[in-house]
Structure 1
Amino acid sequence: MSTNYKRFYTKAGAMPAGISEGYPVPGPQTADADRIATSAFFTTDWAQAQATPYDFIVIGTGPTAVAFIDRVLARNPQARILVLERGGYWLPVHYQMLPAAFQATSSPCTTYPWTRSTAMATTGSKFFQAGYIPVLGGRSTYWSAWCPAPEPDLMRDWPQALVDVTRKPGFWDSARAFLHVTTADRIDDTVYGSLQRQLDTNLRENFKRFVPSAEGAFPAPMAVGHSEWQGVKFYKYSTVGALLGLQQRQQALADHGHGQELALVDQCIVQRLLHDGQGTVTALYTSRGPLSVGNVRIVLAMGTIPPATLLMNSFGDQLPNIGKRYTGHFMSHVIARVKRSAFKDLAALELGAQYLHGKDEQGLQYHVQVSAFASSDPAGDAATIAYEAPDAAAVASMAQLTGSEDYVVFVCATLGEVGENNPDNWIRPNGGPDPTTNITVQLQAGPREQHLWDVLDEATYQTIAALASRGSGATPEIEYWIEGGAPEQGFWQTRRPGKQQIRLPIIVHEASSLWIGEDPATSVVGLDYRPHGVRNVYVTGGGLFPTSGSWNPTLTMCGLAQDLAERLS
């Protein structure tokens, strides 16, 4: 029997000593995803992790963590890296890439490691902050994957030195390559085809005329490519495969003396950073026990709010500005349709995706994400639509597509930025006993945000008209989806829906909790990505953003994580 063939059917070390392939007694009869993944990928010997000298400890397994690790190991395969993940193994890929039945998991177990203030929960827009998914890969297993690159003028109040980082040759290209970013007009897989091209033309020719507040429009850039699978046009990116691929590559290099193993430890919650009072972290206090740091550099890649919580609990008054800024994006959601006859030569099933951005008179930013659906057989096309929808959170429902066989349906998610200067928006410790959740958050839309919300709602309707209008011809009749008592009870009408229907009480793309700046008096993190006065801790993610803008943040976050890796390696 060949070695490979035998390895396919057996797993060394999976059975107790003395029992081998069913002799002299049957071996274990159970298996689960955690056990399989642990056997293949994860370090289970905590004592060994405690005793091993590392160069870096990376906390988190989302996009910025993997962007950092990928760049460090590309420059130095001998770098010794320990990765700590608070959750376990759940999905191998983005859930859209799985069989259609996995659409039932579109609302995964989400954690909210904070308490909303009474004002946030009960007054105004009654916002809730989008939560976290505590598994390998985090929210990258469910994200929308839109990846625009902001121009420097959209980085309001960012330090010039940081803006200049994004202007370095190759900065955006490197981040796009890591995330496999592909613009919707380059997918061209028959599902993205004629409709996509006509939407490109209509929006390019019409947006300045139809949307006075708009500043740019283009085919949606999305993380949906695959660098290794030939012929695959749409494959939504998540960090799980990338991280485990790095682990396997490093193992192969280590086996031949050309690199170091990448150590992954799951089910490990970092609760505090223990330090010497002079800014040097000496140990991590975790749910698995303490971990001595030594000369390790620690990289916080845990999102936006969890690293703020960790630093608050660890350094207290030494970092007094943490949480004094709390920004993000609020959202409206409009669904409309126009007759297929507004377009030429459409196939039975076609999708499209467009992106438009603009500002109000105050300079606050918004952007419109448009997903377009044309299906002459909604029931038969359901699996393909679920697989290739630009945004899994903004898909035309079966109720909306049924009866729209002769229409193109537009699903628009429009995001506006929360300004950074509202003193009523903050993150603060509340004295609770659990150091991973003992904070209170408060974010509300002030008068400036309310004005922006009006502007972006109008811009959404104008964008739909621009997409549906060909050349200088008349705009076709537009109908809007009105929710009924239940989703399947909705209906179409030509009158626009009310604000209460389209405005969602959710904050996404949270940012600014650990904003970066040169002056310790007016920022939290320095230009070298270290919290001011802290020597061996580095921060990644949206918490660094001084202002959130309106653009989807992941491409920028990954580019900055790659820059951090360049500096440290």
Structure 2
Amino acid sequence: MSTNPTPQRTDFSLDVTGRYVCNGLDEALRSADKSLRPEARPFDVIVIGGGSFGPVLAQHLFDRDKTHSHRILVLEGGPFVLPEHIQNLPVLGLNVPGKTSIADLRATGQDGRPRNEVWGLAWHSNEQFPGLAYCLGGRSLFFGGWSPQLLDSEMPPDRWPHQVVDDLNARYFREAGEQIGVNETNDFIQGPLHEALRQRLFEGIQRHKVTDAIPLAQLRLHLTAPDDASGVTADELKLEAPLAVQSRQPRSGSFPFNKFSAVPLLMKAARMASAESGNDDLKKRLMIVPNCHVSRLKTTNGHVTEVETNLGNVPVPSEGVVVIALGTIESTRLALLSFEGIPNYDLIGRNLMAHLRSNLTIRIPRAVLPIDPAIKELQASALFVKGRHTHADGAPGHFHLQITASGLGASGADSEAELFKIIPDLDTLDAFRAADDSHVVITLRGIGEMEAQNPNSRITLDPEPDEFGMRRAFVSIAPTEKDLALWEAMDKAADQAAQLFAGGQPYEVLTPQGAKKVSTGDSLREMFPYVGRRDALGTTHHEAGTLWMGDDPGKSVTDADGRFHHVGNAYVAGPALFPTIGSPNPMLTGVALSRRMAEQALQARRPSAPESGFMYLFDGTEETFKLWQAAGQGAFSLVDGAIVAQPSSDLGLLYYAPRTFGDFVLRLEFRLDQLEDNSGVFVRFRDPRRPVPDRNDPGVSYPYQNQAWVAVNTGFEIQIDEVARGDAGRGIPDGLDEHRTGAIYGIALGEGAGQQTYQRGPVLKAGRWYNYEINVVGDAYTVYLNGQQTTTFTNSDLFRGRSPERDPNSGYIGLQAHTGRLAFRNIRILPALSPLPRARAALVGNLKKVETVSEYVG
């Protein structure tokens, strides 16, 4: 069924955002179909999963692809639902559902239907899970925002590839932090409650009152301190919560993005792709297809050749890559379904890890904190404590405490009641301002790492097929003895931190059975046993490790770039790559690795430096392409590091606008799409934007309706035309050498004044790259095609081809759009700053070196 080309109406809304951001698979496949349009290009980067990390990779690759070499296709199993994080939208109520199983869903008649609009569960397991958010942005639309950085000890060198760790620490952690808004200490949490709780926690840790809390002096401050942090020590700032929130404008005139999710990144990339393509799907460098479920990857000789989906199959070109960026469990299932038979297949699905998680909530009287009684509204706080427990064998286990607090009344129970909220109305704001908070509710959430390579935790294939006929995953996850010991240490640390906040005074612990008073000397553990605080292992949303990276193909599934060791063009993005999990939420590390993959594994190579003395006019990148300006009809596009002419009904011109050139050596490469293509290189013409003086009466000037003709009439064209077309309207026959490739167009052949001496160069073939060299000194023009001289010419026309010394408005260089999609690349120039013979001698030497390489043909 064809996708509706216009936004669709529901009973309540017009789906403008979905239609403007997304495409149907039929539209995407049609845009890559050469039988419909010969210039169509296949998608060479196919990202499977538009959740948390696929969009990060796709957007960064799109942005960093300065040569426009890639076409990126993002396939997402769910629909477009929300444009940003749910907490950036006021009181929407679209919350994360509780844990469940397929059996429970079937028993209640909910199997096959989404919970809370987008949540679905695709696997069987020994533990219950909430499932996945099947929509663009996935769980990034719902995540809590806590995004601390892995410590070096959480990336042990015997598990993590050393180059990955070096890259993360040197650059990618910092960039990921800035991307998600966790690069600065809390820029939206402040006030007397926050300061009082931070100070009390700081003093307690300094006095070693929290067992296994890492001494603050041993931790690096990964967050940048705000300008107004005077009086706060660096060690105190290490207790600030690393939240993926940006509430201060990053620069003048810009809005903060508030809480991070992946959707705005993908939206911006999609709209940029649409804008630069003129809304022509064929020219889009990035397309997003929702509601497209990928079932399996077809492979041939260790290479993915096709992506099977419920909407149709997507071919993968020989140079293309596929990136699996689903949630960890579904990424692993897809690998198990697709790569059976590879040498390390049995490793796929092992090393499953998640997080140990506990929740402790207490309520303390505000009077136990040193806060001015005149302050009625206490507002909110968020703090962070990093812990490390040493096991009996000396191995470390890592955890952290995520601490949130809100000032409330005597019966308040929600520590986040005043945290992570959009308040669009003055009435609610006034109600907060009028509050007279008597108590503080504090939640201490412990997050601990699970041990890697636990043989009892893995993902396999279940015999039961899903609704698409493919085997489901079965997830087995269980704690080790070390996991249980770490959990014990983490809960103990939470108790100790709670007692610090209470300041030795009575307080209440909030349990599922209600509030219980804790008096001085009472055991908090006895009042609220640890087992009652602990979440099930499947509920953290932090599954990781089952496609872990490593240098040894026999001991890991993927390499340091995230590529499967034994599948040449298949990659993984997301926490499935982690060799160990550490205690941090996977968001920061997953974003960092996705950005690293986009740059190091998938990005096209940057151009090499030009020859000595030369400068690039066009090096294949956006930066230099933007220096060229179009005139006349037709268009020019940047495609795969080349300028591609797209002719129209009349002549088109693209010229280098920043400056003019007098004497020079110009070098470039060109490629015919078809043998019948016709184009050329213009030199020494006047500024197309200005009126042209009359040849016979220079005092009179005329503006051109089609400014491309300024180059024809005031400069010279070095022709590209294997057919050597004439002009029937002017009585000029086809086949004249003055109209052939390598000639100066329209200049008669001969030895006389104003004539060119021409000899044919090599016969051109479509689809191959050829080299032009054009030398201009004074009025002398010499042209070389693949190192072979094709023409020499001395200009005797005082009206055309004037140097900037004679006419300050002349001396421009440009490309023609005439017939067919000719491509140009590597355009560089040597301005004649020294006598040409010396420069020419150097050039001839360089040419002789190149002559041995495939006849100059790419």
TM bracket, shorter-chain basis: 0.7 to 0.9
Q: Which residue of 2 aligns with 1:321?
A: 347
- Post-superposition offset of 1:82: 0.9
C-alpha distance in structure 2 between counterparts of 1:360 and 1:520, whole Å: 32
Counterpart of 2:144, as a letter, is: S
* Of 41, 44, 47, the match for 2:21: 41
Q: Which residue of 2 aligns with 1:414?
A: 446
The answer on 1:238 being equivalent to 2:261 is yes
Counterpart of 1:302, as a letter, is: L
1:484-519 Cα offsets, whole Å, 9 max, x none, are 2xxxxx223215312232112233211111011111
* Of 157, 164, 167, the match for 2:166: 164
- Post-superposition offset of 1:555: 0.3
* Of 438, 462, 472, the match for 1:430: 462
* Of 202, 205, 210, the match for 1:204: 202
Asked if the contact 2:43–2:71 (Cα under 8 Å) also holds between the matched residues in 1, the reply is yes
Counterpart of 1:220, as a letter, is: A
SS in 2 for 1:372: strand
- Post-superposition offset of 1:455: 0.8
C-alpha distance in structure 2 between counterparts of 1:377 and 1:231, whole Å: 41
C-alpha distance in structure 2 between counterparts of 1:150 and 1:545, whole Å: 11
The answer on 1:332 being equivalent to 2:370 is no
- Which structure 2 residues correspond to residues 272-351 of structure 1 after superposition, within 5 A? 272-276=296-300, 278-294=301-317, 295-318=319-342, 319-341=345-367, 342-345=369-372, 346-351=375-380
Counterpart of 1:164, as a letter, is: D
Q: Which residue of 1 aligns with 2:385?
A: 356
- Which structure 2 residues correspond to residues 63-102 of structure 1 after superposition, within 5 A? 63-76=52-65, 78=68, 79-100=70-91, 102=92
Q: Which residue of 2 aligns with 1:110?
A: 119
C-alpha distance in structure 2 between counterparts of 1:387 and 1:377, whole Å: 22
1:340-388 Cα offsets, whole Å, 9 max, x none, are 1213135514111111121222212111111111135999x99972643
Q: Which residue of 2 aligns with 1:480?
A: 509
Distance 1:359 1:48, change over 3 A: same
C-alpha distance in structure 2 between counterparts of 1:370 and 1:431, whole Å: 43
* Of 539, 542, 547, the match for 2:572: 539
- Post-superposition offset of 1:249: 2.0
Asked if the contact 2:415–2:442 (Cα under 8 Å) also holds between the matched residues in 1, the reply is no
SS in 1 for 2:404: strand
C-alpha distance in structure 2 between counterparts of 1:313 and 1:446, whole Å: 28
Deviates more, 1:421-430 or 1:194-203: 194-203
Distance 1:382 1:521, change over 3 A: closer
C-alpha distance in structure 2 between counterparts of 1:281 and 1:33, whole Å: 40
SS in 1 for 2:351: coil
- Post-superposition offset of 1:444: 1.2
C-alpha RMSD over aligned residues? 3.0
- Post-superposition offset of 1:418: 1.5
The answer on 1:456 being equivalent to 2:490 is yes
- Post-superposition offset of 1:29: 6.9
C-alpha distance in structure 1 between counterparts of 2:188 and 2:558, whole Å: 39
Asked if the contact 2:410–2:439 (Cα under 8 Å) also holds between the matched residues in 1, the reply is no
1:249-290 Cα offsets, whole Å, 9 max, x none, are 222222399x844211111011100010x2100000101111
Asked if the contact 1:184–1:352 (Cα under 8 Å) also holds between the matched residues in 2, the reply is no
Distance 1:234 1:64, change over 3 A: closer
- Post-superposition offset of 1:240: 1.6
- Post-superposition offset of 1:542: 0.7
Q: Which residue of 1 aligns with 2:585?
A: 552
Counterpart of 2:166, as a letter, is: D
**Number of equivalences:** 507
C-alpha distance in structure 2 between counterparts of 1:457 and 1:72, whole Å: 42
The answer on 1:444 being equivalent to 2:478 is yes
1:142-175 Cα offsets, whole Å, 9 max, x none, are 100111111211213322222112122x322210
C-alpha distance in structure 1 between counterparts of 2:285 and 2:94, whole Å: 36
Counterpart of 1:329, as a letter, is: H
C-alpha distance in structure 2 between counterparts of 1:245 and 1:316, whole Å: 37
Distance 1:234 1:382, change over 3 A: farther
The answer on 1:368 being equivalent to 2:401 is yes
Distance 1:281 1:246, change over 3 A: same
Deviates more, 1:43-52 or 1:234-243: 43-52
SS in 1 for 2:139: helix
The answer on 1:520 being equivalent to 2:500 is no
SS in 2 for 1:359: strand
* Of 244, 251, 271, the match for 1:223: 244
Contiguous gaps of at least 5 residues in structure 1: 1-11, 16-27, 121-126, 390-402, 470-474, 485-489
* Of 193, 196, 199, the match for 1:195: 193
Q: Which residue of 2 aligns with 1:271?
A: 295
- When the two structures are superposed, what TM-score results if normalisation uses the length of structure 2? 0.55
Asked if the contact 2:545–2:577 (Cα under 8 Å) also holds between the matched residues in 1, the reply is yes
- Post-superposition offset of 1:529: 1.1
Deviates more, 1:138-147 or 1:212-221: 212-221
- Post-superposition offset of 1:231: 8.7
Distance 1:451 1:234, change over 3 A: same
C-alpha distance in structure 1 between counterparts of 2:43 and 2:442, whole Å: 50
Q: Which residue of 1 aligns with 2:178?
A: 177
SS in 1 for 2:482: helix
C-alpha distance in structure 2 between counterparts of 1:541 and 1:207, whole Å: 34
Percent identity among equivalent residues? 28
Q: Which residue of 2 aligns with 1:472?
A: none
- When the two structures are superposed, what TM-score results if normalisation uses the length of structure 1? 0.82
Counterpart of 2:330, as a letter, is: P
Q: Which residue of 2 aligns with 1:24?
A: none
- Post-superposition offset of 1:96: 1.5
C-alpha distance in structure 2 between counterparts of 1:549 and 1:383, whole Å: 25
* Of 36, 39, 47, the match for 1:58: 47
SS in 1 for 2:563: coil
Counterpart of 1:64, as a letter, is: F
Considering only CA atoms, is the larger Rg found in Structure 1 or Structure 2?
2
C-alpha distance in structure 2 between counterparts of 1:427 and 1:34, whole Å: 41
Distance 1:421 1:311, change over 3 A: closer
Asked if the contact 1:234–1:388 (Cα under 8 Å) also holds between the matched residues in 2, the reply is no
Deviates more, 1:228-237 or 1:62-71: 228-237
SS in 2 for 1:177: helix
Greater RCO, CA 8 A, separation 6+:
1
- Post-superposition offset of 1:541: 0.8
Asked if the contact 2:62–2:286 (Cα under 8 Å) also holds between the matched residues in 1, the reply is no
C-alpha distance in structure 2 between counterparts of 1:53 and 1:329, whole Å: 40
C-alpha distance in structure 1 between counterparts of 2:306 and 2:13, whole Å: 31
SS in 1 for 2:590: helix
SS in 2 for 1:360: strand
Counterpart of 2:19, as a letter, is: S
Asked if the contact 1:378–1:405 (Cα under 8 Å) also holds between the matched residues in 2, the reply is no
- Post-superposition offset of 1:416: 1.5
C-alpha distance in structure 2 between counterparts of 1:97 and 1:247, whole Å: 21
Deviates more, 1:68-77 or 1:145-154: 68-77
C-alpha distance in structure 1 between counterparts of 2:304 and 2:371, whole Å: 63
